[in-house]
Amino acid sequence: MSHIKISKDWEISGNLATPESVFMSRRKFLQGTALTAVATTALLTGCTSPPHDPEVALSETEKKIYPAKRNENFQLDRPVTSEQIAASYNNFYEFTQVKEDVIVHAQALPKRPWTVEVSGLVRHPKIFDVDDLLRTMPIQERLYRHRCVEAWAMAVPWTGFPLKALLKQVEPTYKATYVRMTTFYKPFTAQGQLAFWEPWPYMEGLTVQEAMNDLAFMAVGIYGHPLPKQHGAPLRLAVPWKYGFKSIKSVVKIELIDYRPATFWNTLQGLEYDFTANVNPKIPHPRWSQAKEKMIGTGEIRPTLPFNGYGKQVAKLYA
């Protein structure tokens, strides 16, 4: 899946093509259908084991924040996706390219201890312990839409804090123009990272203006409890006006820099996954239309909204 193969991905066999690439293939389509059937059966038969590490009790710090107060400024135009569905249909390439298997493989990732280094062009660089963030950041719940570039979508309640609250703590200097975020690098825990020809660790980036926009959210929880590992525990980005690959999981480092950073998908296939990646129904992916999207779980087909419906908050950034 190096950039040399860009235009041939739909012809090559599944083990070479990325899931982002083979989404529309028959094999993937059938798998998606099977998932819905399995999940539906599980619900009908009363097998509703919660997907959030039920054996792990909440820590004292977590008990103080869950359930977090919902910020009513963020309303949905569609039903919230079933928790079971959202928790068992995941993209997390560090573990596997098979969405239905991420929930199993991601359990190998330890959630604690966990620190986030915030550094670069800032006045007060600091390594934050994630539990200190839980104690000090303005924790709240927000209902957000999420739109994957592969044309599936969901709507979920995230618990977390605005990214700008964290950035203000370290005080970016006037030279900082971009924010780069990095996921852990543990190839012996996350076997996807053994693929040495891919640009691990996963990185993503925003302009400083995007990062300071109130919508840019660091999620530490979902559905009223800490993030299960497959969703990017213990903290991940949620930038709902952009395609899902921008919402980087399991972040260990946030750097303020003065150049546009190289990012995972843009490096692999820059013609298909641009850096900005704002949701836009009018710009098709080179291999499929982005005009419509399919809600996971219900299968409802909806028209894709410009900026995923968040134009009021962010369109001004691109005027």
Ligand X SMILES: Nc1nc2c(c(=O)[nH]1)N[C@H]1C(S)=C(S)[C@@H](COP(=O)(O)O)O[C@H]1N2
Task: Please report, as ranges, the residues that interact with ligand X according to CB under 6 A.
Answer: 90-94, 148, 183, 202, 231-232, 244-245, 247-250
- Is the four-CA dihedral 204, 242, 187, 11 of positive or negative sign? negative
DSSP letter for 178, please: E
Q: Is 102 among the residues that bind Mo ion (CB under 5 A)?
A: no
Minimum distance from CB of 250 to ligand X (Å)? Answer: 6
Of residues 205 and 244, the one with the C-beta less far from ligand X = 244
Q: Can you tell me the distance from the alpha carbon of 245 to that of 308, in angstroms, rounded to the nearest whole number? A: 14
CB atoms within 10 A of CB 245: 20
Q: Which of 148, 211, 248, 314 binds Mo ion (CB under 5 A)?
A: 148
Minimum distance from CB of 37 to ligand X (Å)? Answer: 20
Minimum distance from CB of 243 to Mo ion (Å)? Answer: 6
Stretch that binds Mo ion, among 47-55, 113-121, 236-244, 250-258 (CB under 5 A): 236-244
Q: Which of 157, 244, 261, 297 binds Mo ion (CB under 5 A)?
A: 244
Helix (H) or strand (E) holding 21: helix 19-22
Q: Can you tell me the distance from the alpha carbon of 127 to that of 144, in angstroms, rounded to the nearest whole number? A: 28
Q: Token pair of 198, please? A: 């891919």
Distances, alpha carbon 205 to alpha carbons 6, 208, 251, 312, in Å? 22, 9, 12, 22
Q: Can you tell me the distance from the alpha carbon of 259 to that of 279, in angstroms, rounded to the nearest whole number? A: 23
The amino acid present at 7, given as its one-letter code, is S
Distances, alpha carbon 35 to alpha carbons 13, 53, 219, 244, in Å? 22, 21, 26, 20
Q: Is 279 among the residues that bind Mo ion (CB under 5 A)?
A: no
Identify whether the C-beta of residue 80 lies closer than 8 Å to the C-beta of residue 143. yes
Minimum distance from CB of 319 to Mo ion (Å)? Answer: 27
Minimum distance from CB of 225 to Mo ion (Å)? Answer: 23
183 makes contact, choosing from ligand X, Mo ion, none, with CB < 5 to 8 Å by partner type, with: ligand X
Identify whether the C-beta of residue 101 lies closer than 8 Å to the C-beta of residue 184. no
Of residues 84 and 90, the one with the C-beta less far from ligand X = 90
Q: Where are the beta strands (DSSP E) in 133-188?
A: 140-147, 152-162, 178-183
Minimum distance from CB of 60 to ligand X (Å)? Answer: 26
Of residues 120 and 228, the one with the C-beta less far from ligand X = 228
Minimum distance from CB of 244 to ligand X (Å)? Answer: 3
248 makes contact, choosing from ligand X, Mo ion, none, with CB < 5 to 8 Å by partner type, with: ligand X
231 makes contact, choosing from Mo ion, ligand X, none, with CB < 5 to 8 Å by partner type, with: ligand X
Binding site for Mo ion (CB under 5 A): 91, 148, 244-245
